[in-house]
Amino acid sequence: MKKFNVCIVGGGSTFTLGFLKSFVRMRKEFPLQKLVLFDIDEKRQELVGKFGEILFKEQFPELEFSYTTDAKEAYEDMDFVFMQMRSGGLPMRAKDEHIPLSMNLVGQETCGAGGMAYGLRSVVDMIKAVHEIRKYAPEAWVLNYSNPAAIVAEALRREFPKDKRILNICDQPENVVRSCSRLLGCSWEDLDPVYFGLNHNGWFTHMYDRNTGEDLLPKLKKLIKENGFLPQDAEQRDPSWLDTYGMVETMMNDFPEYLPNTYDQYYLYPEYKVATSDPNFTRADEVMAGREKRVFAECKEVIEAGTLGDKFDDISDAHAEMMIEVAIAIAYNKNDRHILIVENNGAIANMQDDAMVEVVCELGANGPRPMGVGNISQFYLGLLVNQVSSEKLLVDAYYENSYQKALEAFTLNRLINDAKKARKVLDLLMEENKGMWPELR
């Protein structure tokens, strides 16, 4: 049986421990020969790397594991490159959130002004990184989930138009499916969703029972009305995530036709989101005080002890599992269904062909085959055309070094929607992103 070589870009990410543990747990379904972590931050990655050395020595000794800041060492001979970089790090995420909020605009890492600020940083770094990957591993599958995935996907589509081995993925649609399984009391693998949208802006039109074909959406609507909506792993979530999932009930009261992605809340209730955010302690602060601290404390504890001890119990990690399942689908030509970000080309019949949309795809060795949803109705079409236009203008701004295009992207964005505010928040963000954005003139 072939064994695979995998590189993780963003080896020092707070999500890497989950991947390392999941690679051990899934070693039969996805056997690895070699795993390399790559990061530009040597210190940050070293802690995760040393943790990995101990983990694999105890649990997966035949694996060739290493970590590096050298691109050639990282990418040569790779079959899959998983990308989870955060351009500018969590401190810049905090600025992406704080600055818009200081103007009473939504402060979110992937949506609105903050998402576009992060978008320009990510596009610069991701394009550079994928060129480096292609230099050393022309055939490797690039599985990207670095955010903002919608904007990154649009930029990679333009930069690498002929490259059919770049895939952009988000875990949120599947997280919502998993939440539905919690409510329905079934396994999430028994659910067969129909979904359309853009990344972080989409809807489930059906939620079929995979075994019987019954559409469970009417039942789900009733259950959500009666019980609210919780993440599948609610017990491990910070309070802000519980509020986010709770908003699904609100959205379904106002727009009962479909089940929304949790991120639709930012587009539908921006005033509520601003009013309930603390401009001095946003999600980035919560992550830095919580997940980031926990992850690196766990690394240090294991490194000091020289053994994993009981740290192997918390092994299940939905995010990592999802991304590994995507690699498995490609590796073994499974042609099973995943919700992926792909070029539209008619999947949403009444949207432009060159939009990067998020839909259910069958995924195998030759890439994703999107499953069409036909025409979507005016309300959804209006929301999506508005958002995709903003995202495309932002990527234009990158390619043309155009302040004007960035201003248009910001003005059109539903979470800003006013030219004077757009100019002001763009100028503030441009100042804070000097050297990290393309130069806008």
Asked whether the beta carbons of 15 and 324 are under 8 A apart, the reply is no
Closest CA to 417 of 283, 274, 280, 281: 274
Phi, psi at 214, each rounded to 5°: -65, 135
Q: Which positions from 146 to 185 touch Mn ion by CB under 5 A, shown as an x/- string?
A: ------------------------x-x-------------
Sign, CA torsion 126/300/231/255: negative
What does the alpha-carbon distance between residue 72 and residue 69 come to, in Å, rounded to a whole number? 9
CB of 71 to ligand NAD, least distance (A): 9
Indicate which single residue of 108, 147, 261, 344 sits in contact with ligand NAD (rule: CB under 6 A). 147
15 binds, among ligand G6P, Mn ion, ligand NAD, none (CB under 5 to 8 A by kind): ligand NAD
Residue nearest to ligand NAD (CB): 12
Take residue 359 and report the two structure tokens written for it. 């839909």
Q: Could you please report the per-residue DSSP string of 109-125?
A: SSSHHHHHHHHHHHHHH
**Catalytic entry in 263, 266, 267, 398:** 263
328 lies in the site for ligand NAD, by CB under 6 A: no
68 or 146, CB closer to ligand G6P? 146
110 or 413, CB closer to ligand G6P? 110
**Catalytic entry in 39, 79, 171, 264:** 171
289 or 305, CB closer to ligand G6P? 289
283 binds, among Mn ion, ligand NAD, ligand G6P, none (CB under 5 to 8 A by kind): ligand G6P
Q: Return the amino acid letter for 246.
A: G
* Cβ partners under 8 Å of residue 400, min gap 6: none
Indicate which single residue of 147, 205, 265, 387 sits in contact with ligand G6P (rule: CB under 6 A). 147
274 lies in the site for ligand NAD, by CB under 6 A: no
339 lies in the site for ligand G6P, by CB under 6 A: no
282 lies in the site for ligand NAD, by CB under 6 A: no
Q: Return the amino acid letter for 70.
A: D
111 lies in the site for Mn ion, by CB under 5 A: no
Indicate which single residue of 31, 34, 40, 184 sits in contact with ligand NAD (rule: CB under 6 A). 40
What does the angle CA 207 – CA 211 – CA 215 come to, to the nearest 5 degrees?
30
Q: Return the amino acid letter for 376.
A: I
What does the alpha-carbon distance between residue 120 and residue 236 come to, in Å, rounded to a whole number? 32
15 lies in the site for ligand NAD, by CB under 6 A: yes
Residue nearest to Mn ion (CB): 170
Q: Could you please report the per-residue DSSP string of 243-278?
A: HHHHHHHHHHHH-TTSEEPTTHHHHH-HHHHHHT-B
Asked whether the beta carbons of 191 and 177 are under 8 A apart, the reply is yes
> Which residues, 37 to 96, sit near ligand G6P by CB under 6 A?
none
- Calculate the CA dihedral of residues 258, 196, 361, 413 and round it to 10 degrees: -140
- Site residue total, ligand NAD (CB under 6 A): 26
438 lies in the site for ligand NAD, by CB under 6 A: no
3-state secondary structure 122-191: HHHHHHHHHHHHHHHCCCCEEEECCCCHHHHHHHHHHHCCCCCCEEECCCHHHHHHHHHHHHHCCCHHHE
13 or 390, CB closer to ligand NAD? 13
Q: Which positions from 106 to 135 touch ligand NAD by CB under 6 A, shown as an x/- string?
A: -------------------x---x------
287 lies in the site for ligand G6P, by CB under 6 A: yes
397 lies in the site for ligand G6P, by CB under 6 A: no
283 lies in the site for ligand G6P, by CB under 6 A: yes
Hey, is 103 helix, strand or coil? coil
Whether 171 is catalytic: yes
173 lies in the site for ligand NAD, by CB under 6 A: no
Asked whether the beta carbons of 113 and 105 are under 8 A apart, the reply is yes
Whether 398 is catalytic: no
Q: Provide the pairing of β-strand 259-260 with 336-343.
A: unpaired
The piece of 49-57, 125-133, 170-178, 346-354 that touches ligand G6P (CB under 6 A) is 170-178
87 lies in the site for ligand NAD, by CB under 6 A: yes
Q: Which residues bind Mn ion (CB under 5 A)?
A: 170, 172
Active site residues: 171, 263
Q: Which residues bind ligand NAD (CB under 6 A)?
A: 9-10, 12-15, 39-41, 44, 84-87, 89-90, 125, 129, 145-147, 149, 170-172, 319
Q: Which residues bind ligand G6P (CB under 6 A)?
A: 110, 147, 170-172, 283, 287
